[in-house]
C-alpha cells in the first residue's frame, strides 16, 4: 500500500471511530491523542497501522474488551509539533551537556599533566582558550581545575570505537574516559542490545575526515549571507542541510555546517558574532563522512536509536555516522 493510500486508510479509521463515540468521551480523546503520538514518532506507515488497529478493533466492537485495553503506544496527549519541539530542546540541552562534560575532562587531563597554572601549562592554556571560544561557563572550568587535584582522580584518555550500524551505515564513537574498561564494556553492551555490531579498529574510521565545524540553524540565517560570511572568513566549505520531502516541519530545524581549518576557526567564530549570526556550541571539531550513504526508513530509525543510547553514556562525547 502506497504512502498516500495508507494515510487515507488511517484517516478513515480515525473518522469512523470518532463518529462512533461522543466527541467529549474518553475514547474519542484517547484515539486522537494516540493519533498525535503516532504522527510525532517517525514510525513507518505499516508500524503506525499495527499500533492503531488493535485499539480501533476493540472499541468498534465494544463489550468487555472495551473496558480493558493493552496499549502498544503510550496515550500521551501531545501534538505533533509540540512533541518535536520538546524533542529538539532535549537534544540541544544534551548536546550542550556533552560539550561541557568534554571540556571539563580536558581541563582535568591538562591539569594532571602540567599543573593548574595556564602560564606554565600550555596544554591547559589551550583548553581554556577553547572553552572561551565555545562559551563554556567559567564555573565549569574552575570546578574541574579543582577536581583535578582531588585524591584518586585520574587523567582522561581518548578512545575511539567503531560500529557497524543498520542499512550499511557506519558509526564512530568518541570517548574520553578515566576508566577504559568501563567505557568499552558500556559501549559494547549498548551496541549488542540494539542489534548492531562492533567493528575492528580502522575498518570504519577511514570513511571520515576530521574538520573544524560550526553549526548554524538554517532558520536563523540567509543562505547567501552565510556563504558571504564564510567566504570572507576564509572557510573551506559550507555544507547545506539535507532536505526531506516527507518532513517539511523539520526543515526549520536543519543546520548549515561551516567547515574551516584550525587556523581560521577563531576568525569564523568572530565573523559570525560580528554579523549577529547565532551558532550552536559544540566541541569545535567533527568527523565528517567522506561519502554519505542513504538508508531506508527502518534502518534510519534503528540507527537514530543506537546513536541516542550511545550518547546517553557518560564516557561518550560524540557519535558520528555516514548516514545521510
Q: Domain span at residue 298?
A: 157-321
Residues 171 and 190 in one domain: yes
Is the pLDDT at 228 greater than 50? The verdict is yes
Higher pLDDT, 284 or 208: 208
Are 193 and 220 in a shared domain? yes
pLDDT at residue 323 in the model: 92
Question: What residues contact residue 96 under an 8 Å CB cut-off, 6+ apart?
Answer: 281
Residues 263 and 186 both lie in one domain: yes
Domain count, the chain: 3
Least reliable range by pLDDT among 16-20, 37-41, 256-260: 16-20
105 plus 211 within the same structural domain: no
34 vs 301: which has the higher pLDDT: 301
User: Residue 279 maps to which CATH number?
Assistant: 3.30.70.980
Asked if residue 112 and residue 30 are part of one domain, the reply reads no
Mean pLDDT, residues 31-43 taken together = 50
Which of 78, 101, 131 delimits the end of a domain? 78
Residue pair 162/171 in contact (Cβ under 8 Å)? The answer is: yes
pLDDT digits (tens, 9 = 90+) for 132-183: 877 889 999 999 999 888 887 888 888 999 999 999 999 999 998 988 999 9
Of 17, 46, 78, which residue is a domain's last?
Answer: 78
Task: Tell me the three-class secondary structure of the chain, residue by residue.
Answer: CCHHHHHHHHHHHHHHHHHHCCCCCHHHHHHHHHHHHHHHCCCCHHHHHHHHHHHHHHHHHCCHHHHCCCCCCCCCCCCHHHHHHHHHHHHHHHHHHHHHHHHHHHHHHHHHHHCCCCCCCHHHHHHHHHHHHCCCCHHHHHHHHHHHCCCCCCCCEEEEEEEECCCCCEEEEEEEECCHHHHHHHHHHHHHHCCCEEECCCCCHHHEEEEEEEEEEHHHCCHHHHHHHHHHHCCCEEECCCCCCCCHHHHHHCEEEEEECHHHHHHHHHHHHHCCCCCECCCCCEEEECCCECCCHHHHHHHHHHHHHHHCCCCEEEEEECEC
Q: Are residues 162 and 127 in the same domain?
A: no
User: How far is it, in rounded angstroms, from Cα 258 to Cα 272?
Assistant: 11
Within 10 Å of residue 293's Cβ, how many Cβ atoms? 14
User: The domain that contains 110 carries what CATH number?
Assistant: 1.10.10.200
Whole-model pTM? 0.60
Whether residues 249 and 150 share a domain: the answer is no
**Where a domain ends, among 41, 62, 78?**
78
Q: What is the pLDDT of residues 244-259, one digit of tens each?
A: 554 444 555 688 889 9
Amino acid at each position: 500500500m502506497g504512502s498516500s493510500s495508507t494515510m487515507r486508510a488511517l484517516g478513515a479509521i480515525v473518522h469512523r471511530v470518532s463518529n462512533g463515540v461522543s466527541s467529549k468521551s474518553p475514547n474519542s480523546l484517547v484515539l486522537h491523542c494516540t493519533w498525535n503520538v503516532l504522527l510525532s514518532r517517525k514510525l513507518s506507515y505499516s508500524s503506525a497501522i499495527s499500533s492503531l488497529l488493535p485499539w480501533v478493533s476493540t472499541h468498534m466492537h465494544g463489550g468487555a474488551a472495551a473496558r480493558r485495553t493493552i496499549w502498544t503506544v503510550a496515550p500521551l496527549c501531545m501534538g505533533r509539533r509540540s512533541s518535536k519541539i520538546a524533542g529538539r530542546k532535549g537534544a540541544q540541552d544534551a548536546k550542550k551537556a556533552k560539550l561541557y562534560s568534554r571540556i571539563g575532562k580536558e581541563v582535568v587531563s591538562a591539569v594532571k599533566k602540567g599543573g593548574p597554572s595556564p602560564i606554565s601549562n600550555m596544554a591547559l592554556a589551550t583548553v581554556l582558550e577553547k572553552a572561551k571560544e565555545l562559551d563554556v561557563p567559567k564555573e565549569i572550568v574552575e570546578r574541574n581545575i579543582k577536581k583535578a587535584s582531588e585524591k584518586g582522580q585520574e587523567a582522561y584518555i581518548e578512545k575511539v570505537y567503531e560500529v557497524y550500524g543498520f542499512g550499511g551505515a557506519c558509526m564512530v564513537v568518541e570517548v574520553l574516559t578515566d576508566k577504559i574498561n568501563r567505557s568499552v564494556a558500556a559501549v559494547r553492551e549498548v551496541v549488542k542490545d540494539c542489534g548492531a555490531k562492533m567493528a575492528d579498529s580502522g575498518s570504519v574510521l577511514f570513511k571520515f575526515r576530521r574538520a573544524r565545524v560550526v553549526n548554524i540553524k538554517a532558520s536563523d540565517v540567509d543562505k547567501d549571507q552565510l556563504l558571504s560570511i564564510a567566504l570572507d572568513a576564509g572557510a573551506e566549505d559550507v555544507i547545506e542541510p539535507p532536505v526531506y520531502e516527507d518532513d517539511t516541519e523539520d526543515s526549520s530545524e536543519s543546520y548549515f555546517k561551516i567547515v574551516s581549518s584550525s587556523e581560521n576557526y577563531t576568525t569564523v567564530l568572530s565573523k559570525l558574532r560580528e554579523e549577529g549570526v547565532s551558532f550552536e556550541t559544540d566541541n569545535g571539531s567533527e568527523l565528517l563522512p567522506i561519502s554519505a550513504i542513504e538508508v531506508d526508513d527502518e534502518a534510519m530509525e534503528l540507527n537514530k536509536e543506537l546513536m541516542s543510547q550511545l550518547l546517553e553514556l557518560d564516557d561518550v562525547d560524540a557519535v558520528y555516522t555516514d548516514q545521510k
